[in-house]
Structure 1
Amino acid sequence: MERPESELIRQSWRAVNSSPLEHGTVLFARLFSLEPSLLPLFQYNGRQFSSPEDCLSSPEFLDHIRKVREAEPWGLRSAKHCLCNIVLQMTRYLLPLQTVGESLLYMLEKCLGPNFTPATRTAWSQLYGAVVKAMSRGWDGE
């Protein structure tokens, strides 16, 4: 990834991280609206949520959002951990990677507003595409 694209990703991630719970909730709300079958993935202490709203307001899920949002997307280890978990779960539930990517772009667009430029969209799309491609080949050594 070229320097301007990586800087766009860093800047936009810093802006989104200013309110991690709000922005994380936007991402997961979109994910649940596109793929309601994901709701069973998020259980805490054996509790199944009856609706996305119930899940999105639970303290355990908010803690999950906080942890996910603390990961730096440009750090390989963080991206690898978060996205590997997503892929394992998607394999189980047959969720297309495009849905996760679309939810990420949706969150960025809603949260950044006019600062989510076409160049920023392209940079994030390229990053997400590169991570998905690497994951589809498998992670060496782990």
Structure 2
Amino acid sequence: MTPHQIALIRDSFEPLKPLAAAVAEAFYAQLFARDPALRALFRGGDMAEQGGRLMQMLAAAIDLLDRPAALNPVLLRLGQRHVGYGVVDTHYDAVGAALLDTLAAGLGASFTPVVREAWTTMYGHVVRTMQQGAAQPAMAA
């Protein structure tokens, strides 16, 4: 990611912070509309609490975008944990699409093609790194 892309992501995320609960709720509505089967991965979970964790994770990742040596180990561990939740590679596509749709709805006209590209680049890095983490337990076995 370029410094410009990192700045675009940080700047576009800032107005969403005070709306974190609504943004998370919109994200999960998008996600479950896109792939209703994913709802089963959240069995028994409090979705408001889950949404809070999602927004905290996004904020933490965004804070570390310019420090990949700190970000990547976190993403690797997150990928390992998600295997235990039943997450498979195909789920990441639905999550990415729901994230971009949620950002587009929440940011409106400020979600320009350049901002969308920055978020897409970030999400691609997150997914690749999480998938590497998810593969590590299989490689060690």
- TM range, smaller chain: 0.7 to 0.9
Q: Is the 8 A contact 2:77 2:130 kept in 1?
A: no
Q: What letter corresponds to residue 5 of structure 2 in structure 1? A: E
Aligned mates of 2:23, 2:118 — CA distance in 1: 19
Partner of residue 19, structure 1: 19
**Alpha-carbon distance, 1:103 to partner:** 0.5
> Does structure 1 residue 117 correspond to structure 2 residue 112?
yes
Aligned mates of 1:104, 1:135 — CA distance in 2: 16
> Does structure 1 residue 138 correspond to structure 2 residue 133?
yes
Task: Specify which structure has the bigger relative contact order, considering alpha-carbon pairs within 8 angstroms and separated by 6 or more residues.
Answer: 2
Number of equivalent positions: 126
Q: What letter corresponds to residue 40 of structure 1 in structure 2? A: A
Partner of residue 39, structure 2: 39
Root-mean-square deviation over aligned CA pairs:
2.9
**1:51-93, CA deviations, whole angstroms, 9 ceiling, x for partnerless residues?**
xxxxxxxxx21121112212223232696279527852322xx
Evaluate the alpha carbon distance shift between residue 7 and residue 110 of structure 1 in structure 2; reply closer, same or farther with a 3 A threshold: same
Evaluate the alpha carbon distance shift between residue 70 and residue 134 of structure 1 in structure 2; reply closer, same or farther with a 3 A threshold: closer
Q: Which range is displaced more, 104-113 or 71-80?
A: 71-80
> Does structure 1 residue 102 correspond to structure 2 residue 85?
no
Aligned mates of 1:80, 1:136 — CA distance in 2: 9
SS in 1 for 2:44: coil
Q: Which range is displaced more, 130-139 or 30-39?
A: 130-139
Instruction: Report % sequence identity.
Output: 26
1:127 to 117, 122, 125: 122
Unaligned 5+ runs, structure 2: 65-70
Unaligned 5+ runs, structure 1: 46-59
Q: What letter corresponds to residue 87 of structure 2 in structure 1? A: M
**Alpha-carbon distance, 1:40 to partner:** 1.5
Q: Which is helix-richer, 1 or 2?
A: 2
SS in 2 for 1:121: helix
What TM-score does the superposition give when structure 1 sets the normalisation length?
Answer: 0.75
